[in-house]
Structure 1
C-alpha cells in the first residue's frame, strides 16, 4: 500500500486547490486505465479502491470503480473483503442498481462459517439498509441471531442489524412471526447479546406489544438475577454498577406493559425496585458512578409510578426527586424534573410537586434550555385550580425573557392553563390580552380564535371583554393580533358600551382605524367587515365609514377592493334590510375540543423510544390511568382481596361519551345503543338513523363498538370514526380501510393506533368530498385481533364490512324560495326529471315535517306552509341544493300525507336525472322507516 501512502502525502502537500485537483485527475486517469486490465490482481484492486475511497471522502466525484469494489466482496482474503465492504458502504446508496449484486455476495458471507465475514456483511447491511436487503437478507440475519452455535459477537451484530432493518422497513420484517424465537434468545447468558437484543425487543414492543408480551417475565427474571442475585460478568460492571445499560433498557421495556398478574413475579419486580432505590440513598463521590446509578434509578422510579403512583415505593422515591431537582448537576436536575412530571401525570394529587414549587419555578431561569423546558413541562402538569394563578403569573414573567425556540410552546401552555383552570373569565381575558401583548409574534391563530369563541359563548363576559380590548387598542404598542381580537369583539359587542364614557361609537372606530394602515392585508380585510357592522349598530358614524370604503375601492389588493365595493353597495342601499341580515349577531360556537391541545401535541413530538405518558397531568393521561386502575382491580380480584362488581363485565363502557363535538349531541349517540334490543352487529335501522343524524352508533357487539360523528358543508365533509373496546381483553392489529364509490372521494386525515387497551376509545378522521351523485357510497373494512389478558391464549380474529351513511342528503343545503319562484321552477323542470313514490306510513304530519326540515337538509317553504294550513291540506313543500365538486343541482320536494288512510306520496323534481333517482331512493327508505 506504499502507493496509497505516497498519494495521500502528495495531496496533503498541495498548497492550492488547483494543484490538488490536477493530482486527483491524474490519479483517476491512472486508476481508470488500470481497471481495464483483466489480469488485475485482488491486491491491486484493493489498493486502487482505497485511493478512490480517499478521494471520495475528500469530496471529489468518483463515478467509476463501484463494480471493482463489489468484486472485492467475493475475495477469500479478509483484507480485500474488508476494503470491498468499506467501499460498498460508503459509495453505494440504497437506490443504486448494484445493490442486487451486493445482496448476493452478502448472502454468501452470511452463510459462511467464518465469523469475521459474517460480521462484515452484517455491518454493511445495517449501514446501507436498502429495501432489497431487508427483503432478501432479513431471514438470514434472523437465522444468525437465533441459531445456537452462532458466536456471541455475531449475535450482537445480528440483533443490531435486525433493529436497523425493522426501524427503516417495518413492513418487510415479520416481527410478529419471529417474536417467539426472539424471546427464546433472551435466555442468553452473554450480557453483550442481551444488551443488543433488548434494543430490538424494545422497538418491537412499541409497535407490536401483544406479539412480544412474553418479554415481561424474562425481563423481570433477568433484572432479579442482576440486581438481587448478582449474576453478571465482571467485564460489564461500570463503576460498581452492574450492566447499567441493560438495566435501563429492561426497566424501560416493562413500562410498555401492565404489571404482571403473577404474584411471585410482581413481588420479584417490587423487590428489584426497592433494592435499586435503597442503593441510591447515598450519593457516590465519583461522577461516573453517580451517573450510572442515577440512570438506573430514574427508570426504576418510572416503573414504580407505572405500577402504582400511590404506592409507598413512589412516596419513598418522591423524596429523592425533591433532592434531585435541587442538584448542582444539570443532568440530574433535568431527569428529576422529567420524572416528577411523570409522577404528576398519574398521581391523584400533586402534593409532592407543590412542596417544591418555588424550586421548580427557579428552574425556569436555569442556564440550560433543556432544564428550562422540563421545568415548563412540570409546571404545566402540576397546575390545578389552587395554584393556577401563581403558575400563570410566573410563566407570563418568564415569557418576556424566554428563548425564542420555546416561546410558541410557552404561549400555548399559558393559554391552555388559563382556560382550563379559570374561575373568573375576566381574569381569562386579562391574561390572554397580556399574552398577546408580550408575545404577539409567537401567538398562533388558534389562541386568539379560542378567546373569541369563549367571549362569544359567555354573555356575562362580553361587556368586560369589549372594555378591555378597547383599552388595549388605545395603547400605542398594540400588537396586530390584539387588533384582530379587538376588531372581532368590538364589531360583535361594541354596542354594549356605546353609551359609556370612553366607549362611544366614534372612539371605537378611531381606536381601530388609527392602526388600520399599519397592519397586514388580512387584518385590514377583517376590519372592513367590522366597519360594516358598525354601520348597522352605529348609524351616526356611517358617513365616516363610507369614506373609508370609497377610499379602498381602488386599491391594488383584490380582496380589499372587493370587500370595499361590496360593503359600500350594501351600506348605500335605500333600505337597511340586507345590511341587517348580513350583520346579524354571530351565534354561539359549538362546544368542541380545544384546538390548542392538538397544536401543542404536534409541537411536542416523541422520540424514538415513545413515552408511555403525556405531559399535562391527569387529564392528559386519563385513558392510560383508567387502564392501569382496571389492571390493578383485576389483579386484586384474582388475588381474592376484593369482590368484582357484577356490572363491570356486562355493561359496556360509555365510549361514545367522548366523541368530538363535530355536530349533534354525544349523549344522543351514547343513549341510542340502549333504545332498541337489536341483534348484535349492524342493522338497517341504525344505518337509516345515521342518514338523518350527525352522530350515533353504527356497529356494536360484545367486544367492540363503532360510532360515527359527522359534519358536512356543501360538497365537503368530515367523518370521525370511533372505536371503543368494550371487552376486558386488548384489541390488537386493528386495521381499517375506507373505500368510496365512484361518486365520493375519501382521504384519511388522522390515523388510528393499531392497539386499543380495555375500556378505551380511539378515533380516526376522514375527509369526504362528493364528486358526483352516481356511486355515492362508502364501505369501511375493519379487521382486528382480540387478545386475552393471558398472552398464551389464542387471539380471536374478527373482520367487519360496514356501509357508512354517506348519502345524497348529507350534501344538501337548504334554500328558502318565494312561492312564485318555486312554482316557476317546478313547471320548468316538468315531469321528465320527476320521481314519484307512494307508500304506507304510520307517521304523523308533524313527524314528516320534522324529518324533512331537520334531518334531511331541506328548507320547508313558509309561504306554501301557511297557505296549505289555511286550506286544510296536508302537504309539505321544501327546497334544497345538492352540492358536488363541479356541480350544484336544485332539488324541489313535495310530500303529501293522508293520516286517515296512512298513506303518503313523495314527488321530487331536480335539474339532474341522476340526482333525482339517487335522492328519491334514499327518501323512500327514510319515509318507509318512519
Structure 2
C-alpha cells in the first residue's frame, strides 16, 4: 500500500512538473534581469488568471467551464507566486481561494493534491481561514470518510500540517471523530493508521479537551489507541503511535498507560538484546537495521515513554498519580530494563569507525542512562554508567561531550557516593583539564555544573581552587554572567562543605575581590558572608583582619569595601592591635569617594560606629559629616545630618548611652534559606541540595557558632532577606534545614497542563472505572470462596485463587488469576492493570509483586496466569477493593474487561481446624467484655433476608458460610436458630483485632420469610465491625 501511495505521489509530481504553462511562467520569472520586469510578468499572469476564473464562473454551460487541468495549472501558478514573493502577495492571490476549494472537490488525485498543498501553505493566514474554512472542513470530512486511501492520506496530511494553527479543525467533532475512526478501524491500511495517529496527536496538542472533556470518551478512545501496540512486530506503526501515547501519558491520563510497561519492556528488550544478538532466530530484518543498530528510532521513543510511566523517588512528591516506581515493577520486567541499560553501555563503549554508527550508539546510550536512574540501579551499574560517560568526554564531537556531561550531572544528582567515586576519583584531572581547554561556552557551564554536583567535604578544597583559578586566569570566558554564576557556586560550596574557618573566610573574600563592579550576585555573596560571620564569633577577628589587608589595596572591589564597612563597623575593637581606629577612619575616607552612593551610606554608618569605639576621632568624623551635608544625594544628606545630631546629643548629655543604644551589637540572623541557592541555574534538584547535612563546622572547643539565632533586628541590619548562619546549622548537630521543594518537571508543551491531581486518593481514576456487566457475581463469590470463577463469557473465562503465602503474615494475600481462551481464535496483545483505591497518604492496602503475564497471547482453549500480592495495612470497606482490568484483541476487535475482586477484612481470617474452638460460656464472657469496654463503638448490627428459607437448612447453611469465610463457629445446641462465631482480623500496620459475630434467624414481621440479624463486635472502636458485617452480608 505504501509503495502504491508512493507511486501516486510520484505521478502527481510528474503531472505537476509536466504543466507546460507553469514551466514557461517559472522560466520567464527566472530569466527576468530586473525586479520591475519580474513584477510586470507576475501582474500580467495574475490578470490573466483572474480573467479566466471570472469568465468560468459566468458560463452556465458546464462544458465551457474551466477544466480540472486548467484550474490546477492556474492554482499552481498562484502558489508559485506566493512562494517566490516571500508571501508578500497574499492579498493578490486571494481571488483564487474559491477555485482552490473547487479543485479540492475533484476526484483526480493530482488535482486534489495540488489543492491541499496550496491550502496548507496559505492556511497560516487568518484571512484565508475566515474565507474558506467551512468549505474546506466539509470537504475534509468527506475525504476522511471516503474509501480511496490516497484521498484519505491527503486529508490526514492536511490535518497534520495545519492542525496546530488558529483554525477550528481541533474543535470540529466531525473531523476529530473521522480521524479516530481511522485509528480504530481494523480494516484501515497501515500507512493510514500511522498518519491518523500523528494527525490525532496534532489535534490533541491543540485541544486537549478532546479527551479530558468527556471521561467516557477518554476511557474508550484511549483503550483503542493503546490497542495499536498489540501488534508488537509492526515497527512502522509503533513509531507513529508512541508519540501519541506519550502525550496521553504526560497530560491526559497516565494511569491508563501504566499497564503498557510490560509490553513496552518486551519490545525494547527484543530490539536491544535480541536485535544485537548473534543468534539467527533473534536477528532483525535488514530493513529495520540502521548503523548496525536495530531500530534506533523506536528504541529512543520507547525509552522516552517508559521514562514518563516510571517515576524516580525524587518525583514522588510531585502530582504524578497512577505512575509506578521501580519497586512496584515485577522483577522480570525490571531485570529486562536493567539488561537493556547494560547493553546500551556496552554498545556505547564499543570502538566503531563509522561516525553515523557512533552517533546512533551514543544517542541510545544517553537516553537509557538518563532513564536508568529510575530503575533503582545497583552500585555496579551506576559505576559502569559513569565510566562509559566519562569515556565520551574526550570525544571530538561537541554535542557528544555536552550530552555526556549532562548525563553525568544527572547521575551525580541521584546517586551521590557511587558515581562520585567513579567520576571524581578517577576522572577529576580529566574534567579539570577540559575546563581549562574547552572553548564552547555551553560545555563549560556543564563542566562547572558537574564539578558542583560531585563536590563533598573531602574534595571541596580541590574543586573550589580549580574553579577559582579558572575564573581568574581563563581567557575562554567571554560572558561575565558565567563568571558570576561560578562565583555563586563557589560561595555555596565553601559554606556547605568547608571545615577550616580560615580557608572559608579566605575563599569568600577572594571571591568578593574578583569583581570590580558590584552586581546582584556579588551582593548576595557578601551579604551571606556577613551573616555567617555575625553568627560565628570565632570568625569576627580573622575576617576583619583579612578585610583590612584587602582595603589597603588600591584596586579593591566595591563589594569588599561594602563587606568591610559592615563588619569592621561592628568589630573594629577586635583588631586594634593590627590597626588603630583612626587609621581605619582614614582608610574608609579614602575609599568613600570611589564607591556608589549605596556603599557611601554604609561607610557613613561605619564612621559613627568607629566614633563609638574611639571618641578621640570625633572632630574628624564631625567635619566629614558636615561636608556631606552639601551632598547632592538626599540619603547621604539625611544620614550625615542625623549622625551629627546623635553626636551632638551624646556630647551634650556627657555619656555614650545613646550611641550604645542606637548602635548596639548586631544580633544573630535566623532566616532558614540560603538566597544563593536560587541562583544556581538549572541544576538537577538533588545536585542543588545533595549532602545538605555537611555544613561548615568548627571545633567543639571553639564553642557553638554564634549563640542564639532567635533574635533578629531587621531595622539595624543592612543585610536584607539573608539566610540562617552556619552557626544555626552547627548548633543543630550539623543538620541542614529542609531543602526547598523540587522544581516541577519540564513540560513538553507549556500550554498543556495535566488534569490529574494527586491528593493521595486514587479516586479520580478508581471511580471512573466502568465495571463490566455481571462483575458483581464474581466479586461476591471471591468474598466467600478462596477460589472459583471470577468472570466467564463466550470469549474468556477468568479463574481466581486467594491464598496466604506466609502463615506468619496473614495480612499478606496472594491473588492468582488464570485466563482461559474459550474461542477458536488467538487472543493477542493481552495485558492487565491493577487499580487500588488509594495510592498515598497511608493507603488501606497496597498492591505489590505484580508478576508479568506468562504470555501476552493466548492460543485457542489455552491459558495464561498472573499473580500479585495485596498487603492489608488497616481496615477498609470491601466496596473499595481492588479493580482488575484486562485488555486483549480477539477476532479483530478490541476487548476490555473491568472487574472488582472481593478482598475484604474477612479475607485475612483463617479457620484453624486443629485449634480447639471457643465454648459458648467463653464466647458469652468475651461478648460482655467487649460491650463493657467499648459500648456501642465496637458494634454493628444489620438485618437481612437470606436466600434460603428453610429453618434447618438455613442454620446449617449459615454455619458453612461462616466457616468458609474463615470464622471459627461455636459448637452449641442450647440456643436455637443462632450461630456464634469468632475470628482474628489481621492488618499489617494497625495490628490484629478480635472479632465476635452472632447470627440470629427469625420469622420476618410479615410472616412470609425469615430474617437474619447479624451482630458484630470487635476490639476496635472504629468501623471495622461494619466492614466485617458487609462481607458477611455479601456471602449470605
The offset of 1:247, in angstroms, is 1.0
**Structure 1: gaps spanning 5 or more residues:** 606-610, 623-659, 668-694, 696-705, 707-723, 735-755, 761-785, 796-930
Q: Are 1:196 and 2:240 an aligned pair? A: yes
Determine if the alignment matches structure 1 residue 286 to structure 2 residue 347. Answer: no
* 1:152 corresponding residue in structure 2: 190
Q: For the structure 1 residues 494 and 385, does the alpha-carbon distance in structure 2 shift closer, same or farther, using more than 3 Å as the test?
A: same
Give 1:433 shift: 2.2
SS in 2 for 1:282: coil
Match of 2:1006 in 1: none
Cross-structure match for 2:82:
53
Deviation at 1:569, TM superposition (A): 4.7
Q: What is the alpha-carbon distance in structure 2 between the residues aligned to residue 540 and residue 52 of structure 1?
A: 89
Q: For residues 70 and 621 of structure 1, what CA distance do their matches in structure 2 show?
A: 72
Matches within 5 A, 1:828-907: none
Provide the residue aligned with 1:234 in structure 2: 286
Residue deviations 1:658-701 (CA, integer Å, cap 9, x gap) = xx9999xx99xxxxxxxxxxxxxxxxxxxxxxxxxxx9xxxxxx
Aligned to 1:212, the other structure's residue is in SS state helix
Alignment of 1:535-546 (within 5 A): 535-546=611-622
Task: Report deviation, 1:174.
Answer: 2.9
Counterpart in 2 of 1:650? Answer: none
1:420 CA drift (Å): 1.2
Q: Is 2:657 aligned against 1:587? A: no
2:577 is equivalent to residue 500 of structure 1: yes
Query: Structure 2 matches for 1:312-331, cutoff 5 A?
Result: 312-331=380-399
Change beyond 3 A, Cα 1:127–1:598: farther
**Could you say what secondary structure the match of 2:91 adopts?**
coil
Rounded Cα–Cα distance in structure 1 between residues aligned with 2:178 and 2:198: 14
SS of equivalent to 1:60: coil
Alignment of 1:140-289 (within 5 A): 140-167=178-205, 170=208, 174=212, 177=219, 178-188=221-231, 189-207=233-251, 209-230=254-275, 232-256=284-308, 257=310, 258-259=325-326, 260-279=328-347, 282-289=350-357
Counterpart among 477, 497, 501 of residue 403 in structure 1: 477
Q: What's 1:477 paired with? A: 555
Displacement of 1:357 in angstroms is 1.3
1:190–1:758 CA distance, 2 compared to 1 (3 A): same
| Deviation for aligned residue 1:54 | 2.1
Question: Contact 1:380 / 1:617 at 8 angstroms: preserved in 2?
Answer: no
Q: Report deviation, 1:389.
A: 0.5
In structure 2, what is the equivalent of residue 517 of structure 1?
A: 593
Q: Structure 1: how far apart are the matches of 2:406 and 2:290?
A: 25
- Measured in 2, the distance between the counterparts of 1:620 and 1:80 equals 68
Larger Cα-atom Rg:
2
Evaluate the alpha carbon distance shift between residue 190 and residue 518 of structure 1 in structure 2; reply closer, same or farther with a 3 A threshold.
farther
The 3-state SS of whatever aligns with 2:565 is: helix
1:416 aligns with 2:489: no
Q: Secondary structure at the match of 2:255?
A: coil
Distance, in Å, in 1 between the alignment partners of 2:295 and 2:80 is: 42
Structure 1 equivalent of residue 100 of structure 2: 72
Quickly say closer, same or farther: Cα 1:523–1:23, change in 2 above 3 A: farther
Separation in structure 1 between the aligned mates of residue 455 and residue 513 of structure 2, nearest angstrom: 23
Provide the secondary structure at the position in 1 that maps to 2:300: helix
Deviation of 1:474 after TM superposition, in Å, equals: 2.6
Tell whether 2:375 aligns with 1:307: yes
Q: 1:725 to 1:35 in 2, by over 3 A?
A: closer
Aligned residue among 658, 677, 688 for 1:597:
677
Offset of 1:72 from its aligned partner?
1.9
Q: CA deviation at 1:148?
A: 3.1
CA distance in structure 2 between the aligned counterparts of 1:794 and 1:553, rounded to whole angstroms: 86
> 1:88-120 CA distances to partner (integer Å, 9 max, x unpaired)?
444444765826535555444443444444444
* Separation in 1, partners of 2:255, 2:622: 69
The answer to whether the 8 Å contact 1:239/1:289 transfers is yes
Query: Post-superposition shift, 1:413?
Result: 1.9
| 1:719-754 deviations in Å (ceiling 9; x for gaps) | xxxxx9997x879899xxxxxxxxxxxxxxxxxxxx
For residues 373 and 430 of structure 1, the distance between their equivalents in structure 2, rounded to whole angstroms, comes to 25
Native 8 Å contact 1:95 1:130 kept in 2: no
Contact 1:731 1:758 in 2 (8 A): no
**CA distance in 2 between partners of 1:468 and 1:730 (Å):** 60
Mapped to 2, the partners of 1:23 and 1:526 lie a distance apart of: 75
Contact residue 494 and residue 507 of structure 2 kept, 8 A: yes
1:530-553 Cα shifts (integer Å, max 9, x gaps): 445444445444444444444444
Cα offset for 1:241? 0.5
1:392 corresponds to which of 455, 459, 464: 464
Alignment deviations for residues 465-513 of structure 1 (CA, whole Å, 9 cap, x no partner): 222223223322222333333332233333432x2233x3343334334
Q: After superposition, give the CA deviation of every residue in 1:603-659 in whole Å (9 maximum; x if it has no partner).
A: 328xxxxx8x7544745999xxxxxxxxxxxxxxxxxxxxxxxxxxxxxxxxxxxxx
Deviates more, 1:89-98 or 1:477-486: 89-98
1:134 is matched with: 170
Instruction: Indicate conservation of the 8 Å contact 1:309/1:343, yes or no.
Output: no
Shift of 1:126: 4.1
Correspondent of 1:379 among 420, 426, 451: 451
Query: Per-residue CA shift, 1:319-374, capped at 9, x if unaligned?
Result: 43343334455444444333333332233522111221111222212344443333
Match of 1:63 among 63, 87, 91: 91
* In structure 2, C-alpha distance between the alignment counterparts of 1:371 and 1:599, rounded to whole Å: 19
Give structure 2 stretches of 5+ with no counterpart: 1-18, 58-64, 276-281, 311-324, 695-721, 730-736, 742-756, 767-837, 843-879, 887-897, 901-1036
Deviations 1:196-245 (A, max 9, x none): 33233334444454342223222101112323444755322102100112
Could you tell me whether the CA contact under 8 Å between 1:50 and 1:83 is conserved in 2?
A: no
What is the TM-score with the length of structure 2 in the denominator? 0.55
Partner of residue 365, structure 2: 297
Check the 8 A contact 2:180/2:196 in 1, yes or no: yes
Tell me if structure 1 keeps the 8 A contact 2:413–2:690.
yes
Does the Cα contact within 8 Å between 2:116 and 2:158 map onto a contact in 1? Answer: yes
RMSD of aligned residue pairs (Cα, Å): 4.5
CA–CA distance in structure 1, aligned partners of residues 603 and 454 of structure 2 = 40
* Aligned partners of 1:363 and 1:371 also within 8 Å: no
Between the aligned partners of 1:789 and 1:290, the Cα distance in structure 2 is 47
Residue 415 of structure 2 aligns to a residue whose secondary structure is: coil
- The one of the two structures with greater contact order (alpha-carbon pairs below 8 A, sep at least 6) is 2
Check conservation: 1:412, 1:447, Cα contact below 8 A: yes
User: 2: distance between equivalents of 1:457 and 1:69?
Assistant: 76
C-alpha distance in 1 between matches for 2:528 and 2:508: 10
- How far off its partner does 1:581 sit? 4.8
- Which of the numbers 54, 64, 72 marks the counterpart of 1:43? 72
Q: Number of residues paired by the alignment?
A: 645
Secondary structure class of the residue paired with 1:213: helix
CA contact (8 A) 1:466 1:494 kept: yes
Asked if structure 1 preserves the Cα contact closer than 8 Å seen for 2:883 and 2:899, the reply is no
Shift of the 6–355 alpha-carbon distance from structure 1 to 2, 3 Å rule, reads: same
